Amino acid sequence: MSLVTAFLAGTAAPAAVPRSARPSAGFFGVGGGCALSVECSSRPQKKGTKHHMKTRPKKTQQWDIKRRPTQYPPLPALPEDWTLVSAGETEDAAPEDAAAAVEVEVVAAPAAAD
């Protein structure tokens, strides 16, 4: 118990123990013979989502409090020549035929002039 803690608790302060008499089994020579005391912060900080919720901008104007998200009209239908394909579906046409129709000619690039 430190001197300040002993004073606040109203008990007598412990006698000082010489450095050589303390056990030195610990990390960086910090003794293992001392008692640990828990000290809490007097002003703990909010973390993560609690902080964002507490400090977010609040709506104070009456017109802003009643404001709702914009309602857009529904999208028009797709043109007839377009086809909507979802990620899990495949097209009816065979992919081999489409790949065979594309021909690519590879030509060597001309040598760079020095």
pLDDT values of the chain reduced to their tens digit, one per residue, 114 residues: 566 777 677 766 556 655 555 555 555 555 556 667 778 888 889 999 999 999 999 989 999 999 999 999 999 988 888 887 777 766 665 555 554 455 656 666 666 655
Task: Write down the pLDDT at residue 109.
Answer: 60
Task: Write down the pLDDT at residue 62.
Answer: 92
Q: Do 46 and 53 touch, CB atoms closer than 8 A? A: no
Numbers of helices and strands, H then E, in the chain? 4, 0
Task: Write down the pLDDT at residue 84.
Answer: 76
- Whole-angstrom distance, CA of residue 23 vs CA of residue 101: 85
Task: Write down the pLDDT at residue 64.
Answer: 92
